[in-house]
């Protein structure tokens, strides 16, 4: 049985460009999927004030040193009066027990919350969306330049 690529010869630059494009597209789609909940939360989120009940600190070693992650556990009341407990992993927060923090929660899934601020809601989707678009443009531009180089070499 012949190789899949046997019917046509591809130069390594084209294969590298296609591979980079596929990898970057997959990364873009993965990040977009993960940011989807943030986008939904920003669009249909309900405002509430949550109270920090306790927090957990986790320290791990990284190549650049130690990294500390704090997860805050909060309690809040929904619009229909239900008490909900959830966690909030916002690295820019500095809360103590019984401190209040404004949040947005998803009425369909009240345990899905984020801090009620522009960066808290839209920061990650905007950053990763813009990064994905810039990378996709770069791959497209690189493929076009390689096509032009290939046409020029034939002439």
Tens-place pLDDT, residues 78-123:
999 999 999 988 777 888 999 999 999 999 999 999 888 888 788 8
Look at residue 112 and tell me if it is in a domain.
Answer: yes
Look at residue 83 and tell me if it is in a domain.
Answer: yes
Integer Cα distance of 46 and 131 in angstroms:
28
Question: Looking at the 3D structure of the chain, how many domains does it have?
Answer: 1
At residue 147, the pLDDT reads: 82
State the Cα torsion 29-105-86-93 to the nearest 10°: 80
Integer Cα distance of 107 and 47 in angstroms:
10
What parts of the chain have a pLDDT lower than 50? 7
At residue 155, the pLDDT reads: 67
Look at residue 6 and tell me if it is in a domain.
Answer: no
Look at residue 1 and tell me if it is in a domain.
Answer: no
Look at residue 155 and tell me if it is in a domain.
Answer: no
Look at residue 7 and tell me if it is in a domain.
Answer: no
* CA atoms in the 13 A half-sphere facing the CB of 110: 15
Q: By the 8 A CB rule, do 97 and 53 touch? A: yes
Query: Does the model's pTM come out above 0.75?
Result: no
* Domain span at 72: 12-150
Look at residue 2 and tell me if it is in a domain.
Answer: no
At residue 72, the pLDDT reads: 93
């Amino acid at each position: 049985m012949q190789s899949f690529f046997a019917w046509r010869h591809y130069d390594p630059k084209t294969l590298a460009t296609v591979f980079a494009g596929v990898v970057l597209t997959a990364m873009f789609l993965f990040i977009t999927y993960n940011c989807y909940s943030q986008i939904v939360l920003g669009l249909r989120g309900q405002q509430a004030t949550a109270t920090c009940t306790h927090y957990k600190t986790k320290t791990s070693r990284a190549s650049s040193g130690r990294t500390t992650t704090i997860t805050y556990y909060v309690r809040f009341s929904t619009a229909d009066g239900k008490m909900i407990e959830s966690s909030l992993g916002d690295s820019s927060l500095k809360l103590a027990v019984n401190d209040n923090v404004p949040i947005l929660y998803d009425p369909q899934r009240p345990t899905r919350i984020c801090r009620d601020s522009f960066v808290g809601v839209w920061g990650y989707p905007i950053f990763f969306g813009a990064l994905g678009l810039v990378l996709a443009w770069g791959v497209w531009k690189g493929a076009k330049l390689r096509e032009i180089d290939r046409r020029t070499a034939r002439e």
